[in-house]
């Protein structure tokens, strides 16, 4: 077996970790020392592990009285200039929308992990991707929040470092959008053994106005011109980073005229489906967005231009497909294979759908 | 002649020289001054961090010259918790109205007090939502007319006014909880004394201190400032007695959350 980072001196020996545990270790490597959260399945291993690990690394773990409080505690630690995070699952993330918006408004960095479960309402605890649209439009107000979508336990680990770095640079909350399957599955992964890059200076942090003018972190701008300028400033910071942080992975796309688009755990079924389709004579390839915001629209367009079929495969009722259609803008048909409720399409399901759509 | 002139009364040093936005007869100005005086007296301006909430209280950051964050409605104690844990050398205080603290933020204040979180809370109780134009609050008195209790608050259906300080006094956690009134000068003098203790509960004893201040809102009480001052004493103080409800400043500091590089330990009692 080959590992993603085999031979890379920055990484240690392979070890077996659950996705939720990899989130914790990735955050700790990135220098996160403040965790606030509230129990909810299927992400409970994260607060449980953090309650043990944070004191070990000189950090703070606190179980908040609710998700509303937990994300506001993150606001406080972030305002102090610390790297802080929380994690939850779909219903809890709904409650955190308030805090995410206030963090964005006060231009504060943090990382919010959503280990998605089935919805709406209490739904169930099976893996789902039904919070895609909520994630890419996190919080009320007119701002864009970067969203990372890991597809393996290794990426659950790796993307935490990227998420914290992006959060600091964008001065914005960053969402890591996983799901129950990724959180609960154990896979071999390698952790970093080098030092993380130092976080940027945070002259805006609240540390007491000693020897400097006081700092004020607020999302309140009563004059429309001021709020518009504030919105534009937040957007400019995001746009300046967008091209650089936008990421996607590809599988067998070099000559593909059947393009599958899927993220997270759904992409793994699609990868197998590409092999199965190629065995049957279809030139199938997969584009897997790793950032959902910014969405890798340009690459979708490049690959769609030579495709006779684009199929979005998702564990939801047609959310990712909206971004794909928006990117393609009618250049070719974009179809959807989506299953909600904690269900998913298997590789043979994907194969059958492609053959059906191509009239085979 | 000039040498003999002494300053008897001046603005606190940490107060920003600016016209306040508060209505005539509103006692927010007195409350803000008491906070500023206490910060000056304790010499903590350069390590003080204020948390402004949602409501008329939010503009405190325009009047006191120290670091400030503005929190979501009701969440100031949670934001203060994050700051307090991250900055063990700083002094963290919130300044919240009754809509903020006694309605939408009840969970946050109860749990911050229960954890004896290292912070000071200044709670402005004027029995009404001020900034949103006079709606009923959990602290609205029975019979009191507001824009959402036009027939006067009725116990049946709208419940009884919430006595937050007494409620928090049932908890083992908090170091200091008191209520004072921003009415006649003697009450303001008492409020000043309690304010100092609410800050000392944090600064000296490393715990949670809260001072509830009975406050006026003539605009949405539908009164003149003079009538409002009378109502503060006759209506508010009759239902909300002033006094100290919790004073555990002599409790061993091991009862409170400790800060440090090794995470947090809570006493084993």
pLDDT tens digits, one per residue of B152-178: 999 999 999 999 999 999 999 999 999
In a domain, B264, yes or no: no
How far from chain centre, in Å, is Cα A146? Answer: 8
The label of the residue with tokens 């993307």 reads A159
Count of domains observed in chain B: 1
pLDDT along chain A (360 residues), means of 10: 84 97 98 98 98 98 98 98 98 98 98 98 97 97 97 98 98 98 97 96 98 97 98 98 98 98 98 98 98 98 96 98 96 95 97 95
B5 in any annotated domain: no
List for chain B the helix, strand, coil content (%; round to 5): 40, 15, 45
Q: With CB atoms and an 8 Å threshold, state whether A208 touches B48.
A: yes
Q: For residue B69, give the chain A residue with the closest CA.
A: A217
Q: Is the per-residue pLDDT at B254 higher than 60?
A: no
Say what the pLDDT of residue B4 is: 84
Whether B246 is in a domain gets the answer yes
The ranges of chain A annotated as CATH 3.40.50.920 are 248-357
Q: Which of A55, A74, A98 sits opposite B82 (nearest CB)?
A: A74
Backbone angles phi, psi at B137, to 5 degrees: -115, 165
Closest CA to A105 of A79, A123, A69: A79
Q: Is B223 exposed, middle or buried (0-12, 13-18, 19+ CB in 10 A)?
A: middle
Between A65, A75, A214, which is nearest B82 by CB?
Answer: A75
Cα torsion through A67, A68, A70, A71, rounded to 10: 110
Whether A84 has its CB under 8 Å from any CB of chain B: the answer is: yes
- Report the alpha-carbon distance of residue A114 to residue A137 in Å, rounded: 14
List C-alpha distances in Å: A206 to B46, B50, B83, B106. Answer: 11, 10, 8, 26
**Residue among A323, A341, A325 nearest A333 (CA):** A325
Predicted confidence at residue A331, as pLDDT, reads 87
Mean pLDDT of chain B: 93
Q: Which of B74-88, B220-234, B239-253 has the lowest mean pLDDT?
A: B239-253
Residue B144 belongs to a domain = yes
* Three-class DSSP category at B190: helix
Distance from CA of A355 to the nearest CA of B (A): 52
Residue B11 is assigned to a structural domain of this protein: no
CA torsion A5-A8-A9-A15 (nearest 10°) is: 20
Residue B57 has pLDDT above 80, yes or no: yes
> A interface mutation test: which of B263, B265, B266 has the most A CBs within 10 A?
B263
Residues of A in contact with B16 (CB under 8 A): none
In a domain, B268, yes or no: no
pLDDT value, residue B258: 44
A10 vs A259: CA distance, rounded Å: 34
Looking at residue B268, its pLDDT comes to 30
Q: Compute the nearest-CA separation of B64 from chain A (Å).
A: 10
Q: Which of B15, B55, B66, B78 to mutate to test the interface with A (most CBs of A within 10 A)?
A: B78
Q: Delimit the CATH 3.40.50.970 region(s) of chain A.
A: 15-199+218-245
**Span A15-199+218-245: which CATH code?**
3.40.50.970
With respect to residue B94, please indicate whether it lies within any of the assigned structural domains: yes
Q: Do A69 and B47 touch (CB under 8 A)?
A: no
CB contact under 8 A, A99 and B89: no
Nearest CA to B165 out of B136, B118, B122 is that of: B122
B85 CB within 8 Å of a chain A CB = yes
Query: CATH code at B154?
Result: 3.40.50.970
CB contact under 8 A, B45 and A209: yes
pLDDT score for B251: 85
If we measure between CA atoms, which residue out of B134, B85, B84, B129 comes closest to residue B105?
B129
Question: Which of chain A's residues have a Cβ under 8 Å away from the Cβ of B264?
Answer: 55, 60-62
Nearest Cα residue to B40 out of B51, B48, B28, B52 = B48
Which of A327, A324, A308 minimizes the C-alpha distance to A316? A324
What pLDDT does B93 receive? 98
Q: What is the pTM of this model?
A: 0.95
Question: Domain range for residue B76?
Answer: 17-252
Query: Does A76 sit within 8 Å of B86, measured CB to CB?
Result: yes
Task: Provide ipTM, 2 decimals.
Answer: 0.96
Please tell me the class of the A248-357 domain. alpha beta
- Tokens for A320? 């990712």
The reply to whether residue A102 touches residue B72, judged by beta carbons under 8 angstroms, is yes
Looking at CA atoms only, how far is residue B187 from chain A in angstroms? 31
Helices (H) and strands (E) in chain B — how many of each? 10, 7
Is B111 in Cβ contact with A209 (below 8 Å)?
Answer: no
Task: Report the C-alpha gap between B50 and B76 in whole angstroms.
Answer: 10
Letter string b/e over residues A283-300, b meaning 16 or more CB atoms within 10 A of that residue's CB = bbbbbbbbbbbbbbbebb
To the nearest 10 degrees (0 to 180), the angle between helices A224-245 and A153-170 is 140
Instruction: Answer yes or no: is B76 within a domain.
Output: yes
């Amino acid at each position: 077996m080959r590992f993603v980072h085999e031979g890379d001196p920055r990484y240690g020996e392979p070890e077996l970790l659950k996705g939720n545990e990899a989130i914790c270790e990735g955050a700790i490597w990135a220098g996160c020392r403040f965790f606030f959260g509230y129990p909810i399945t299927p992400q409970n291993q994260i607060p449980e592990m953090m309650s043990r690990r944070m004191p070990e690394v000189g950090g703070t773990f606190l179980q908040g009285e609710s998700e509303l409080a937990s994300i506001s505690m993150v606001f406080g630690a972030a305002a102090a200039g610390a790297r802080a995070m929380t994690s939850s699952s779909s219903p809890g993330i709904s409650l955190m929308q308030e805090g995410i918006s206030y963090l964005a408004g006060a231009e504060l960095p943090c990382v919010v992990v959503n280990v998605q479960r089935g919805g709406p309402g209490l739904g169930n605890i099976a893996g789902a991707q039904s919070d895609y649209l909520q994630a890419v439009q996190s919080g009320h107000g007119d701002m864009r929040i970067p969203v990372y979508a890991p597809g393996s336990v290794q990426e659950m680990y790796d993307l935490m470092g990227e998420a914290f770095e992006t959060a600091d640079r964008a001065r914005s909350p960053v969402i890591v959008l996983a799901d129950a399957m990724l959180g609960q599955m154990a896979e071999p992964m390698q952790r970093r053994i080098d030092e993380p890059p130092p976080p940027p200076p945070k002259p805006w942090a609240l540390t007491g106005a000693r020897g400097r003018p006081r700092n004020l972190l607020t999302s309140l701008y009563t004059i429309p011109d001021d709020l518009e300028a504030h919105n534009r400033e937040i957007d400019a910071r995001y746009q300046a980073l967008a091209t650089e942080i936008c990421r996607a992975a590809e599988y067998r796309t070099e000559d593909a005229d059947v393009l599958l688009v899927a993220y997270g755990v759904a992409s793994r079924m699609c990868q197998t489906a590409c092999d199965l389709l190629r065995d049957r004579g279809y030139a199938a390839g997969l584009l897997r967005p790793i950032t959902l915001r910014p969405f890798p629209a340009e690459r979708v367009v490049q690959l769609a231009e030579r495709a006779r079929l684009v199929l979005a495969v998702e564990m939801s009722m047609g959310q990712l497909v909206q971004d794909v259609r928006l990117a393609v803008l009618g250049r070719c048909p974009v179809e959807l294979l989506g299953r909600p409720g904690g269900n998913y399409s298997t590789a043979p399901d994907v194969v059958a759908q492609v053959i059906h759509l191509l009239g085979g | 002649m000039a040498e003999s002139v002494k300053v008897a009364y001046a603005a606190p040093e940490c107060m920003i020289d600016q016209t306040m936005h508060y209505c005539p007869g509103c006692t927010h100005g007195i409350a803000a001054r008491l906070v500023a005086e206490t910060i000056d007296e304790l010499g903590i301006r350069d390590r003080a961090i204020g948390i402004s909430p949602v409501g008329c209280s939010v503009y405190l950051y325009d009047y006191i010259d120290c670091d400030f964050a503005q929190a979501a409605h009701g969440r100031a104690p949670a934001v203060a918790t994050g700051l307090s844990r991250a900055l063990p050398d700083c002094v963290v205080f919130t300044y919240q109205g009754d809509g903020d603290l006694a309605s939408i933020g009840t969970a946050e204040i109860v749990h911050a007090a229960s954890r004896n979180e290292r912070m000071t809370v200044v709670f402005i109780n004027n029995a009404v939502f001020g900034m949103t134009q006079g709606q009923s609050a959990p602290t609205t008195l029975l019979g009191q007319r507001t824009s959402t209790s036009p027939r006067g608050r009725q116990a049946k259906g709208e419940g009884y006014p919430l006595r937050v300080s007494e409620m928090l006094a049932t908890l083992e956690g908090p170091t200091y909880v008191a209520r004072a009134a921003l009415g006649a000068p003697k009450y303001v003098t008492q409020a000043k004394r309690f304010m100092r203790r609410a800050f000392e509960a944090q600064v000296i004893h490393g715990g949670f201190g809260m001072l509830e201040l009975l406050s006026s809102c003539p605009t949405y009480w539908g009164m003149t400032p003079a009538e409002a001052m009378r109502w503060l004493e006759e209506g508010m103080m009759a239902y909300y007695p002033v006094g100290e409800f919790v004073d555990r400043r002599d409790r061993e500091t091991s009862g409170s959350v400790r800060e440090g590089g090794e995470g947090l330990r809570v006493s084993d009692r």
